[in-house]
Structure 1
Amino acid sequence: MKGKLRPVGSPVPSPRIHEHQELPWAAHYHTEFMGSGTEALSLAVAIAIRRHSQVSTPEVIIPAYGCPDLVSAICAQGAKPVLVDLLPNAPHMNDAGVREAITPSTVAVVGVGFLGIPERLEELSGICREHNLLLIEDSAQCFPPASASKSHADLVVLSFGRGKPINLMGGGALLIRSDLTGLAKEAVGHYPVAVLKVGTKWLVKRLVFNLLMMRLPYYVLERLPFLGIGETRFHRLETISRLDLPERVLQAGLRDFQLRPLIHQRYDIELAGLDARGWKCLTSDRSEISRNDLQQSVPLLRYPVLAPSTDLRDRALAVLNSAGIGASAFYERTLPQIDGVEAAVEDRDYPVASDFSSRLLTLPTHENVTSADVTLIGRILLSVTEL
């Protein structure tokens, strides 16, 4: 097949008039739409700081492996990101490390969902309650958020940008638990409101965006070096705004997500033999989240696999991409190793997170992945392992 299968991202859905379903979290959270997921997280940090107004230099705990936008959102509020190492062979923060990182200046802990795999929010919630901290669920990569049904988190971050579970070409949301709306009101009102207009310009942008996600256009775009597609970069958060998001745009995103095929289940079957060769499919660590109140699996953003070694991961990446499969090492390194981040965090090693980042391989799970693609991927990974 000509072209290249993109690593992540679903097409932007078409809004319809008079479409409505209740938001999955409506029973527990108030929704505040924001200009981006990063801006939503920064607002969550602002609320946590307001709750601990006596702290002069607030600190926020995050995992040592993650998106540099975590750091951007925290620094934009004048707070300090405090990094915690991971559990072995997992995307979750080490519980003992979280406890050790807590100081009198800590105001919040951010539990970050990973490619559709939620953090262990119940454990983190218990730690936060012990120390009177706010728990922020960063669900930018997970939908619906794990707190939608059990409300473990005080605040929940969603993102509607490119490459996220619901792609609306931008925007995000902060879900504020009902008992915190009074505290949050002043912090929220501090930011201006931008209006998203679904007119001709937006509709044309949607058509072009969706066209560029197809195999041949993506193949061409990826080879334009000035675009930096797939690169992990640190960007300072300069502005924060709320967003007036038309309901029909969000409703289209919800509908599209619910109709998405469960590609990760095909990988579970095709890659079952890799475990015996030293690979680890991280879907085994995934909690099943309800869809429409039924205990069913929901789509993964990408399919994450840990290779036995960095060398084997890199060989697999090279062969997969040369075969037209958009496989990725994702962030590739820990947060302190990303240019621009090192100035904002403590300069130290995080050995488990470093090992995780050096062996991680992610595979596409969007609706354009075919059974033939999954079969090809399985064949390539097995052949690379046997070399």
Structure 2
Amino acid sequence: MFGTAAPVGESILLSTQEPPGTLLDGHLTSYFESGTAALAAAIRLTRDSRQLARPHVIIPGYCCPDLVAACLYADVEIRVADTLPDAPFYCRQSLDAMLDSDTLAVICVNFCGLHEHIEHVKELLRARESKAIIIEDWAQYHPQASDTRMPIDGLAIRSFGKGKPASILTAGAVICSPNFKQQAGKSWENFEFAPPSLSPLKICAFNTILTPEVYRLALLFGVIRPGKTEFHPLKQVTRYHAADMQLLAANIAAWQRGPNQAQQAIVAHLEDHTGMQPINDLSHYRQSRLLRIPVLLQDKVHRDEVLRKGASLGLSPMYQKPIIEVAGVPTDAITRHDCKNAAVLADRLITLPCHGRLRATQINKLLQLISGSNAHD
């Protein structure tokens, strides 16, 4: 039977052989029910640590609407800075224009496993003598066992939700730099713990729907709607229940030792073909385990053509629009700089799947798609 590849999604283990102590080598300060809840808790922590007249948080012009939801829950104003035209990272001039003495934090997003240019952001903050905190959003990234990179000056967020690295359908985490650890304990002590939320039935259903044949049927009957980006408000922030921690540890360990052949094959093929442009130097694509492989096409027409040709291969246009144009985002709550670069980026960007469930035939078809992706005339 003909099947359709999912854009992301590793199988979730039901085994719990790994001890909870393997979770991020003890760097993790606190777990929450979702990555969005973790981000909201981190923003509230920074808000409580400083007395500002009108605290605001800066987010990039091309990002997940969950960043907006977290900011609104934490009761801070939102400012949107433009991205680069060929990468979802901050345009320095736009970020500079959004900074002032009431800037509480700058959220730097790791996109599919590729880090924001953090040193450039730090350099700008130093030049402006800004006390803004850098919050690194690692919802789409999880380090391999050999990766010891941790936030030095601020906070970082992780997500273990559906379609994320080391997914168990739920959970998020905040990693604190040493100067935040004491404050974190006080800030989060009033958050309630969520009840256990995982069940073997839910996990088996998720694993089943990821098989190409079932995934195709789920698309056909509207059970899932990938590529549809909408804003959903965050209604509550709860801590993650300890009963699920051992399963989380097992799935983190499984992801770290999981297969990476698809990413290696696709990145090597991109090096020899110019139809798909990487958003960063390909050396960065090799250094990290990627959730997806982001590439740029010539324009929206070319992008849509490639998406049509690769409809069964798990390609995705990601957010498709700048954050200020995403359905449901309350634009009256946002101050924005001109996001013309983010609009261009949204029209050109797609992601290629690279998860361990891809079959050899699907990987070969992806390589053929890359080979034939030269821009239209």
| TM > 0.5 | yes
Q: Out of 118-127 and 300-309, give the one that drifted further.
A: 118-127
Q: Is contact 2:19-2:249 (8 Å) kept?
A: yes
After TM superposition, the runs of 4+ consecutive aligned structure 1 residues lying more than 6 A away are none
Q: Is contact 1:33-1:171 (8 Å) kept?
A: yes
Alpha-carbon distance in structure 1 between the residues aligned to 2:77 and 2:25: 30
> For 1:158, what is the secondary structure of its paired residue?
strand
Task: Confirm whether residue 218 of structure 1 aligns to residue 215 of structure 2.
Answer: yes
Q: Is contact 2:62-2:321 (8 Å) kept?
A: yes
> For 1:162, what is the secondary structure of its paired residue?
coil
Q: Out of 138-147 and 186-195, give the one that drifted further.
A: 138-147
Relative distance call for 1:211 and 1:52 in structure 2 (3 A) is: same
Relative distance call for 1:282 and 1:260 in structure 2 (3 A) is: farther
Shift of 1:125: 3.4
Task: Confirm whether residue 193 of structure 1 aligns to residue 190 of structure 2.
Answer: no
The residue that corresponds to 1:353 in the other structure is 342
Shift of 1:380: 2.6
The residue that corresponds to 1:134 in the other structure is 133
Alignment-mate amino acid for residue 115 of structure 1: C
Alignment-mate amino acid for residue 114 of structure 2: I
The residue that corresponds to 1:308 in the other structure is 298
The residue that corresponds to 1:38 in the other structure is 36
Per-residue CA distance 1:306-342 (angstroms, 9 max, x = gap): 0012111100001110xx2121100001001112222
Alignment-mate amino acid for residue 267 of structure 2: D
Which among 118, 123, 133 is matched to residue 121 of structure 1? 118
The residue that corresponds to 1:249 in the other structure is 247
Task: Confirm whether residue 229 of structure 1 aligns to residue 229 of structure 2.
Answer: no
The residue that corresponds to 1:329 in the other structure is 317
Alignment-mate amino acid for residue 46 of structure 1: R
Alpha-carbon distance in structure 1 between the residues aligned to 2:2 and 2:194: 41
Q: Is contact 1:5-1:369 (8 Å) kept?
A: yes
Shift of 1:268: 1.6
Q: Is contact 1:161-1:169 (8 Å) kept?
A: yes
Q: Is contact 1:9-1:164 (8 Å) kept?
A: yes
> For 1:175, what is the secondary structure of its paired residue?
strand
The residue that corresponds to 1:292 in the other structure is none
The residue that corresponds to 1:75 in the other structure is 72
Alignment-mate amino acid for residue 158 of structure 2: L
Which among 103, 106, 116 is matched to residue 106 of structure 1? 103
> For 2:203, what is the secondary structure of its paired residue?
helix
Alpha-carbon distance in structure 1 between the residues aligned to 2:122 and 2:152: 6
Q: Out of 31-40 and 121-130, give the one that drifted further.
A: 121-130
Q: Is contact 2:69-2:234 (8 Å) kept?
A: yes
The residue that corresponds to 2:277 in the other structure is 280
The residue that corresponds to 1:47 in the other structure is 45
Alpha-carbon distance in structure 2 between the residues aligned to 1:148 and 1:127: 25
Q: Is contact 2:81-2:336 (8 Å) kept?
A: no
Shift of 1:151: 2.7
Q: Is contact 1:194-1:241 (8 Å) kept?
A: yes
Task: Confirm whether residue 317 of structure 1 aligns to residue 307 of structure 2.
Answer: yes
Shift of 1:283: 5.3
Alignment-mate amino acid for residue 82 of structure 1: R
Shift of 1:349: 3.5
Shift of 1:386: 6.4
Relative distance call for 1:47 and 1:267 in structure 2 (3 A) is: same
The residue that corresponds to 1:173 in the other structure is 173
Alpha-carbon distance in structure 2 between the residues aligned to 1:44 and 1:286: 31
Which among 247, 259, 278 is matched to residue 261 of structure 1? 259
Relative distance call for 1:374 and 1:384 in structure 2 (3 A) is: same
Q: Is contact 1:329-1:361 (8 Å) kept?
A: yes
Q: Out of 254-263 and 358-367, give the one that drifted further.
A: 254-263
Alpha-carbon distance in structure 2 between the residues aligned to 1:285 and 1:66: 22
> For 1:67, what is the secondary structure of its paired residue?
coil
Q: Percent identity?
A: 26
Alignment-mate amino acid for residue 253 of structure 1: N
> For 2:169, what is the secondary structure of its paired residue?
coil
Per-residue CA distance 1:271-327 (angstroms, 9 max, x = gap): 33332x4x3123526647xxxxxxx84421011110012111100001110xx2121
Per-residue CA distance 1:47-75 (angstroms, 9 max, x = gap): 1111112x232100110000000000001
Alignment-mate amino acid for residue 38 of structure 1: T
TM-score (norm 2): 0.91
Relative distance call for 1:285 and 1:58 in structure 2 (3 A) is: farther
> For 1:167, what is the secondary structure of its paired residue?
coil
Alpha-carbon distance in structure 2 between the residues aligned to 1:147 and 1:76: 32
The residue that corresponds to 2:156 in the other structure is 156
Q: Is contact 2:60-2:82 (8 Å) kept?
A: yes
Alpha-carbon distance in structure 1 between the residues aligned to 2:368 and 2:105: 44
Alpha-carbon distance in structure 2 between the residues aligned to 1:349 and 1:223: 38
Which among 40, 53, 58 is matched to residue 55 of structure 2? 58
- Number of residue-to-residue matches in the alignment: 370
Q: Is contact 2:271-2:282 (8 Å) kept?
A: no
Alignment-mate amino acid for residue 339 of structure 1: A
The residue that corresponds to 1:340 in the other structure is 328
